[in-house]
Amino acid sequence: MLRASANALARRASARSLSSVAAKYFPSEPAHPQLVTPAIPGPKSIQLNNDLGEKFDNRATYFVADYKNSLGNYISDADGNKLLDVYCQIASIGLGYNNPALIEAAKSDEMVYALIDRPALACFPSTTYKEILEDGILAAAPPSMSRVWTALSGSDANETAYKAAFMYQHAKLRGDQDFSSEELTSVMDNATPGASEMKILSFDKGFHGRLFGSLSTTRSKAIHKLDIPAFQWPKAPFPKLKYPLDEFATENHAEELACLEAFEDILSQHKGASKVAAIIVEPVQAEGGDNHASSFFFQGLRDITIKHDVLMIVDEVQTGVGATGKMWAHEHWNLTTPPDMVTFSKKFQAAGFYYSNPQLQPNQPYRQFNTWCGDPSKAIIAKTIYQEIVKNDLVTRTAAVGDYLYGGLQLLASKYPAHIKNLRGENFGTFIAWDCRDAGARNEILIKCRDRGVNVGGCGDMAIRMRPTLTFEEKHANVFLQVLEDVLNYM
Amino acid sequence: MLRASANALARRASARSLSSVAAKYFPSEPAHPQLVTPAIPGPKSIQLNNDLGEKFDNRATYFVADYKNSLGNYISDADGNKLLDVYCQIASIGLGYNNPALIEAAKSDEMVYALIDRPALACFPSTTYKEILEDGILAAAPPSMSRVWTALSGSDANETAYKAAFMYQHAKLRGDQDFSSEELTSVMDNATPGASEMKILSFDKGFHGRLFGSLSTTRSKAIHKLDIPAFQWPKAPFPKLKYPLDEFATENHAEELACLEAFEDILSQHKGASKVAAIIVEPVQAEGGDNHASSFFFQGLRDITIKHDVLMIVDEVQTGVGATGKMWAHEHWNLTTPPDMVTFSKKFQAAGFYYSNPQLQPNQPYRQFNTWCGDPSKAIIAKTIYQEIVKNDLVTRTAAVGDYLYGGLQLLASKYPAHIKNLRGENFGTFIAWDCRDAGARNEILIKCRDRGVNVGGCGDMAIRMRPTLTFEEKHANVFLQVLEDVLNYM
């Protein structure tokens, strides 16, 4: 406890040395939640949602939001409540609501053309698309990655990466030979050898999307997968680390070694035309419960994939774009060889996968292809987000504010150990989570936080995850920590 | 030939009775193509595309477009050429380039919020989403369809429809029972009974997208499918009609009966937990070569699906939103029972599937779910497109202009029978196509048309397809027909 307090104080000092970007962006941002109804959703939210439900499946609605009146880190609801938002549209609001830089981008002529003259990008790209990519998505690329294939969502990004992996591996197997007539015929019946028997390996508790290919690699919860056909692709164990990490260093290392061994066993079992074409892994398994592993584990994965000539796809759909205190979470690992592909979406609004090896482009056009191949309007948003991140050093700030927040949660964990367990995400920016006593307690805490003006999300079976914007600062952390303490006091 | 001429004259008269909406929208629209380089792509297009190619797979590029200087039915390229566009971003530009109504929508405050505060729609829908849907996507819904699930692309729309179908069919099988523990466990390993063995049936030459589930139903060309894993789902034959239709009425009817019989045989072969959950069919198989079938055939499909308790999904991604002279192409069929789901994208910019039966919503939230569940910025575009369609009666106009264009093509077909074969799409708006002598001749015609200032697209093995905007009028058809005749003269 003493150590936690000292850390917290040091972190507090570091965060304070930065001037407020939020104040610059959002001079009228509320200083604290403003509540006008005793519970959330309030009556107007409920009425609007009931009406919407006659047209659109909205049974997962938390509340109906008034985006016009949302600002910065505060989301307004239909009743006029203003909540501090640390969930942020499932981790996808980067610069805060109604950020003036984004308003400017949205009102630009460039955006108007992108919106109303939407191109089939791979047939009729605009004169400006290269520049939009270079100044935005590609400027933000992970080290060593110089190319991108743009998509529309995280699922789409992952599935196009899978397709690139399958075509790459089959091209290697095929060598200089052309497609055989048997391949050309069989594929029209979805049969081998034209249709692939290769596989994408994913990890227990991983989440990679909900379309048919991505859902086959998603292993988060049964409810995400039930009744949907799935490919017979293998699943490897993901380390189950114990906290605090320094107390369980030996056990955790053994756990990671065992997982690496099991992983390599699976790769060894699939060879040739039915090999594992690629693995996909999240730097932190977000939907699955914010499960972390060490850099040692990820370096081990990379080494084994290279040994077995399997591609490594890092799914940065949720971890990417600064929240972990690095632009891309896998930069924390200092891999000796970079991953083959890195996928992104959410906070960047634009989606796609980065790569560097030109052989990840299939041997002919129209193989990796679709009508839109991305969306310039989202690429313009991504460009603006990236430029604001650089201008305001938002990743460094997020690292510092994350440390501050983590320190505060350490203090609360020492005070309420039954309610804040396995605190994780130290030195990982604001990408922080902890376990509650059980699912019921977790859900109760989420609801009570919301009723006190903080919108926070869960993940996994009993975890609460922090997913604030990159303009979340010490003052917002203080509001959050105070509300959380109030709630835990009553649990 | 005489009959063709008479038809053409009658059609010409009908189209002329409408005043020009294009002139109202686009007073400065070119009267004919404006060419500044001898061939397309010109040198600037080539240079820009080479530069882009270092970052983005652009080997399918026709030319680099200058959208700022495109207007109405004319697309400008990087070199300053202005081409009449009858391909329109693979059938996805509805109202013409830089339509003033869309500019206004793009500059609205509503659009700004939609772009920069993008919601997770199924958790935090906006106060305005219901209205945006009601005034746009839902106002445009096919007869009897009152609900929508929004998505991001045609592939996404189809795959979410498939998911709805699988969950619906398993719910019927399961009855009142809860998920079994075996289902809950097995699904995490992608195994039955938790993962479904049911199937989506599609048709030979159909195209339904390129993600893993949709690609398994796509049967257009080998190059779309090679090296990608596919589900073992069945394929039924699609009628191969002979033209002119009235000459081959008996043969075509027999062909459709044989296809229906084969179709029912396949449904009969799959029962219970491995049944066909749904079929998906396009009103015209567009990518596969603009293959038509009669209303009799589609009514037959509907009757057989009902008999076998199989859902019918109509894929209107390319046929929808007016181009066929009806808002939705399947309205041509006058089905006695409407389809279960209708998917849309492309010309609507927004994507998704329509339905009416509330049981197509799964029994619990978070089953049909993803982060964004659509995109309000696209829904606003769709709303504007629909309102302009209604205001200017653009579907009726497209029916008339399509008749005019068809008449013109009939005349050319009688003059150049080796180059315009199997003309199809009569009474189907501007959704018209024909076969060339072979693939080589088709590609040559496409290139020569482009070099003479008309951007036109192919489909299938040797077809040319018309996919102009809904503001394509008699004057544009005249330009097109003249250029085509010039090209055919030199073939």
Determine contact: A159 vs chain B, CB below 8 A. Answer: yes
Name the minimum distance, in Å, from the CA of B118 to any CA of chain A. 8
Instruction: Please indicate, yes or no, whether residues A245 and A340 belong to a single structural domain of this protein.
Output: yes
Name the minimum distance, in Å, from the CA of B114 to any CA of chain A. 8
What pLDDT, on the 0 to 100 scale, is given for residue A176? 86
Find which of A117, A170, A219 to mutate to test the B interface (most B CBs within 10 Å of its CB): A117
Find which of A90, A124, A199, A364 to mutate to test the B interface (most B CBs within 10 Å of its CB): A124
In this complex, do A229 and B368 lie within 8 Å of one another by their Cβ atoms? no
Instruction: Please indicate, yes or no, whether residues A177 and A225 belong to a single structural domain of this protein.
Output: yes
Q: Is residue A448 part of a domain?
A: yes
CA distance A422 to B296: 64
Q: Which domain holds residue A371?
A: 110-390
Estimate to the nearest angstrom the gap between the alpha carbon of A86 and the chain centroid: 14
Would you give the DSSP letter of residue A277? E
* CATH number for the domain harbouring residue A436: 3.90.1150.10
Name the minimum distance, in Å, from the CA of A157 to any CA of chain B. 10
CA distance B76 to A414: 65
Find which of B109, B126, B226 to mutate to test the A interface (most A CBs within 10 Å of its CB): B226
Question: Among residues A336, A370, A390, which one ends one of the domains?
Answer: A390
- Sign of torsion over alpha carbons B22, B25, B29, B31: positive
Candidates A383, A399, A315; CA nearest to A349 is: A383
Look at residue B9 and tell me whether its pLDDT is greater than 80.
no
pLDDT digits (tens, 9 = 90+) for B45-69: 999 999 999 999 999 999 999 999 9
pLDDT digits (tens, 9 = 90+) for B319-346: 999 999 999 999 999 999 999 999 999 9
Q: Residue B351: closest CA among chain A residues belongs to which residue?
A: A152
In this complex, do B153 and A184 lie within 8 Å of one another by their Cβ atoms? no
Determine contact: B112 vs chain A, CB below 8 A. Answer: yes
Determine contact: A296 vs chain B, CB below 8 A. Answer: no
Q: Is residue A455 part of a domain?
A: yes
CA distance B203 to B416: 32
Q: Helices A295-307 and A249-269 sit at what angle, rounded to 10 degrees? A: 20
Estimate to the nearest angstrom the gap between the alpha carbon of A305 and the chain centroid: 23
pLDDT digits (tens, 9 = 90+) for B162-178: 999 999 999 999 998 99
Q: Mean per-residue pLDDT for A386-405?
A: 97
In this complex, do A89 and B152 lie within 8 Å of one another by their Cβ atoms? no
Q: Is residue B155 part of a domain?
A: yes
Nearest to B194 among A75, A211, A222 (CB): A222
What pLDDT, on the 0 to 100 scale, is given for residue B1? 39
Q: Is residue A241 part of a domain?
A: yes
Q: Is residue B105 part of a domain?
A: no
CA distance A422 to B269: 53
Q: Residue B233: closest CA among chain A residues belongs to which residue?
A: A190
From chain A, the residues in CB contact with B75 under 8 A are 124
Active site residues of B: 207, 315, 346, 371
What pLDDT, on the 0 to 100 scale, is given for residue A12? 54
Instruction: Tell me if ipTM is over 0.85.
Output: yes
Question: Among residues A390, A406, A431, which one ends one of the domains?
Answer: A390
| Total number of residues shown for chain B | 491
Non-local (6+) Cβ contacts of A246 within 8 A are: none
Instruction: Give per-residue burial for A430-450: e unless 16+ CB within 10 Å, then b.
Output: bbbbbbbeeeeebebbbebbb
Phi, psi (degrees; rounded to nearest 5) at A430: -90, 10
CB A186 within 8 A of CB A194: yes
- Sign of torsion over alpha carbons A289, A294, A295, A298: negative
CB A377 within 8 A of CB A115: yes
CB A242 within 8 A of CB A252: yes
Instruction: Please indicate, yes or no, whether residues A451 and A401 belong to a single structural domain of this protein.
Output: yes
CA distance A309 to B279: 39
In this complex, do A195 and B228 lie within 8 Å of one another by their Cβ atoms? yes
Query: How many domains, chain A?
Result: 2
Instruction: Please indicate, yes or no, whether residues B406 and B356 belong to a single structural domain of this protein.
Output: no
Non-local (6+) Cβ contacts of B17 within 8 A are: none
Q: Mean per-residue pLDDT for B443-459?
A: 98
Name the minimum distance, in Å, from the CA of A300 to any CA of chain B. 24
In this complex, do B111 and A113 lie within 8 Å of one another by their Cβ atoms? no
Look at residue A17 and tell me whether its pLDDT is greater than 70.
no
Instruction: Please indicate, yes or no, whether residues A453 and A369 belong to a single structural domain of this protein.
Output: no
From chain B, the residues in CB contact with A266 under 8 A are none
Vertex A107: Cα angle to A104 and A112 (nearest 5): 140
Look at residue B16 and tell me whether its pLDDT is greater than 80.
no
Instruction: Please indicate, yes or no, whether residues B142 and B85 belong to a single structural domain of this protein.
Output: no
Instruction: Please indicate, yes or no, whether residues A372 and A398 belong to a single structural domain of this protein.
Output: no
CA distance B65 to B76: 6
Question: Among residues A357, A390, A423, which one ends one of the domains?
Answer: A390
Find which of A201, A371, A384, A385 to mutate to test the B interface (most B CBs within 10 Å of its CB): A371
Q: Mean per-residue pLDDT for A97-102?
A: 98
- Sign of torsion over alpha carbons B424, B426, B429, B430: positive
pLDDT digits (tens, 9 = 90+) for A199-217: 999 999 999 999 999 999 9
CA distance A279 to A257: 18
Look at residue B186 and tell me whether its pLDDT is greater than 90.
yes
CA distance B214 to B159: 6
Query: Where in B104-179 does DSSP place strands (E)?
Result: 147-151
CB B207 within 8 A of CB A241: no
Q: Is residue A406 part of a domain?
A: yes
Q: Helices B2-16 and B474-489 sit at what angle, rounded to 10 degrees? A: 150
CA distance B398 to B468: 10
Instruction: Please indicate, yes or no, whether residues A62 and A171 belong to a single structural domain of this protein.
Output: no
Instruction: Please indicate, yes or no, whether residues B263 and B401 belong to a single structural domain of this protein.
Output: no
Determine contact: A368 vs chain B, CB below 8 A. Answer: yes
CA distance B65 to B97: 12
Nearest to B92 among A109, A346, A371 (CB): A371
CA distance B61 to B76: 15
Candidates A421, A433, A481, A383; CA nearest to A15 is: A481
SS3 B86: coil
From chain B, the residues in CB contact with A68 under 8 A are 109, 113
Look at residue B8 and tell me whether its pLDDT is greater than 70.
no
Nearest to A159 among B107, B171, B211 (CB): B211
Determine contact: A369 vs chain B, CB below 8 A. Answer: yes
CB B407 within 8 A of CB B11: yes
Q: Confidence class of residue A19 from pLDDT cuts 50, 70 and 90?
A: confident
Q: Mean per-residue pLDDT for B217-246?
A: 97
**Number of CB pairs < 8 Å for A and B?**
387
What tokens were used for B112? 């700004």
Rg of the Cα trace of chain B? 23
CB A33 within 8 A of CB A76: no
Instruction: Please indicate, yes or no, whether residues B160 and B245 belong to a single structural domain of this protein.
Output: yes
Q: Residue A141: closest CA among chain B residues belongs to which residue?
A: B55
Name the minimum distance, in Å, from the CA of B339 to any CA of chain A. 18
- Sign of torsion over alpha carbons B65, A355, B208, B262: positive
pLDDT digits (tens, 9 = 90+) for B394-437: 999 999 999 999 999 999 999 999 999 999 999 999 999 999 99
Instruction: Please indicate, yes or no, whether residues B383 and B248 belong to a single structural domain of this protein.
Output: yes
What pLDDT, on the 0 to 100 scale, is given for residue A5? 54
CB B273 within 8 A of CB B197: yes
SS3 B422: strand
Interface of B with A in 71-100 (CB under 8 A): 75, 78, 89-90, 92-93, 97-99
From chain B, the residues in CB contact with A64 under 8 A are 124-127
CA distance B370 to A158: 14
* CATH number for the domain harbouring residue B340: 3.40.640.10
> pLDDT above 70 covers what percent of chain B?
96
Q: Residue B59: closest CA among chain A residues belongs to which residue?
A: A365
Name the minimum distance, in Å, from the CA of A372 to any CA of chain B. 8
What pLDDT, on the 0 to 100 scale, is given for residue B7? 55
Q: Is residue A105 part of a domain?
A: no
Estimate to the nearest angstrom the gap between the alpha carbon of A311 and the chain centroid: 20
Interface of A with B in 419-438 (CB under 8 A): none
Q: Residue A199: closest CA among chain B residues belongs to which residue?
A: B229
What pLDDT, on the 0 to 100 scale, is given for residue B2? 44
pLDDT digits (tens, 9 = 90+) for B139-149: 999 998 999 99
Interface of B with A in 163-222 (CB under 8 A): 163, 166-167, 170-171, 179, 183-185, 187-191, 194-199, 204, 209-214, 216, 219, 222
In this complex, do B118 and A92 lie within 8 Å of one another by their Cβ atoms? yes
In this complex, do A97 and B89 lie within 8 Å of one another by their Cβ atoms? no
Average pLDDT, chain A: 96
Instruction: Please indicate, yes or no, whether residues B384 and B399 belong to a single structural domain of this protein.
Output: no
Look at residue B14 and tell me whether its pLDDT is greater than 60.
no
What pLDDT, on the 0 to 100 scale, is given for residue B12? 54
DSSP characters over A441-475: HHHHHHHHHHHTTEE-EEETTTEEE----TT--HH
What tokens were used for B232? 């073992």
pLDDT digits (tens, 9 = 90+) for A318-370: 999 999 999 999 999 999 999 999 999 999 999 999 999 999 999 999 999 99
From chain B, the residues in CB contact with A137 under 8 A are none
Q: Residue A133: closest CA among chain B residues belongs to which residue?
A: B55
Determine contact: A350 vs chain B, CB below 8 A. Answer: no
Look at residue A11 and tell me whether its pLDDT is greater than 60.
no
